[in-house]
Structure 1
Amino acid sequence: MSLRFSEEEFQGAWSELDAPRLDGGWELFTETMGVKIYRLFDQETSLYEYKVQGVLASCAAQLCADVYMDLAYRKNWDGYVKELYEDDFDGQRAIYWQVKYPLAMSNRDYVYVRERRDLEVDGRKIWVILARSSPQAACPERGGVVRVNDYKQSIAMESDGAGGTKVFMNYFDNPGGMIPSWLVNWAAKKGVPNFLTDMQKACSNYAAYCQKK
């Protein structure tokens, strides 16, 4: 079933692969391990939206897309995943994702839809994955877990011409509750580069994982 993301949304995701659009208040937040992270303050929520640009040097773009889409495999390599699965929620196909938070803080969970398209644009092969929260999916909230209802992410990938992958990601979520600023800053400065590093390792181990299934 098509999740009906618009053509404009897909185009918007890959159009910033070469150069992120940074007008309107975007600022460079941090640069580490070949990854640049930009942020934009959101007046309505007092939170930040992020754009990430970088290169995964050791894995091909299609492999990155396959690994990113494989929910069962992600549970093996992403240590922050508590639960992750796709199911029908009263007729709405969606993904349930629960994220582990530090001790004394409630875990967060997401119910979201996503769609992948493998595009060819002026001779360039580009893989795009879009995701956004789906509050209409009938997935009951759980005690002790905070539901995140405002989440969006887009990721675009293509070959860097040298066996690696150029990546552009745009994301925002409102985790709700009282999240310390140190945790928000850590997630942006360290969590994203660490995730990309873990994903590179996951790509290198994916063939072995598939053989064991």
Structure 2
Amino acid sequence: MSLRFADGDFQSAWKELDEPQLDGGWELFTETMGVQIHRLYDEETGLYEYKVFGVLAACTPELCADVYMDLAYRKQWDGYVKELHEKDFDGQKAIYWEVKYPFPLSNRDYVYMRERQDLDMDGRKIWVILAKSSTVTPCMEKSGVLRVKDYKQSVALESDGGCGTKVFMNYFDNPGGMIPPWLVNWAAKSGVPGFLTDMQKACKGYANYCQKK
């Protein structure tokens, strides 16, 4: 059984570059470094879903997409990665990702599918990457590591008209366990802008990394 993304999923992701969909309870959570983060409370889980709008300076969207997709490279620039690689489960490709959490919390891991499409929409070049957790790809759970079974992310990238990239990201995961609210807030307020800053640095170093491979 294959887990596929619908064409409509890609369309709805890139359209938010033009028209952010923030009706129905979305609130501005924080704004920093030219990045706006909005959140929506999910009553079922008691957690928040996030939408991120911003610009990555001095990185082209194609380069951002290439860096985002390169798992081996991410292990070098993302300090929260404990383990990250693509696996073959019964003929299906999925990604295994273990994330470091601060002591005394347990690490989390994910098994997810993802797909990238490079779109040409009436002359506009837009890169969209979708990811969501997969239950159709069996992977043994590790002792002491909590499996995140509800995860989704969409990223849309387009030129900002100059040398940078306009970014939209929609994100939700349910990390399970008892995570203190301060850590959840820190991850959203500091973690997302920090990740985008790290992405910019990673983009600048990508050509050099590829030459050394």
- TM-score bucket of the superposed structures, by smaller chain: over 0.9
1:40-189 equivalence runs, <5 A: 40-189=40-189
Match of 2:199 in 1: 199
CA distance in 1, matches of 2:106, 2:196: 25
Match of 1:5 in 2: 5
Residue identity in the other structure for 1:29 = F
CA distance in 2, matches of 1:198, 1:3: 30
Aligned-partner SS, 1:88: strand
CA distance in 1, matches of 2:27, 2:181: 18
CA distance in 1, matches of 2:18, 2:56: 15
Residue segments in structure 2 that go unaligned for 5+ positions in a row: none
Instruction: Write out per-residue CA displacement over residues 152-172 of structure 1, whole angstroms, 9 at most, x where no aligned residue.
Output: 000000000111000000010
The offset of 1:18, in angstroms, is 1.9
TM (norm. structure 1) is 0.98
CA distance in 2, matches of 1:101, 1:83: 13
Aligned-partner SS, 2:88: strand
CA distance in 2, matches of 1:180, 1:90: 37
> Do the aligned partners of 1:99 and 1:108 also contact (CA within 8 Å) in 2?
yes
Aligned-partner SS, 1:97: strand
TM (norm. structure 2) is 0.98
Instruction: Write out per-residue CA displacement over residues 16-72 of structure 1, whole angstroms, 9 at most, x where no aligned residue.
Output: 012311100000000000000000000100000000000001100000000000000
Give the % identical residues.
Answer: 76
CA distance in 2, matches of 1:7, 1:148: 25
Residue identity in the other structure for 2:11 = Q
Quote the RMSD (CA, aligned, Å).
Answer: 0.9
Match of 1:24 in 2: 24
The offset of 1:91, in angstroms, is 2.6
Residue identity in the other structure for 1:49 = E
Higher deviation after alignment, 49-58 or 85-94? 85-94
Aligned-partner SS, 2:205: helix
> Do the aligned partners of 1:3 and 1:115 also contact (CA within 8 Å) in 2?
no
> Do the aligned partners of 1:29 and 1:39 also contact (CA within 8 Å) in 2?
yes
Higher deviation after alignment, 18-27 or 181-190? 18-27
The offset of 1:3, in angstroms, is 5.1
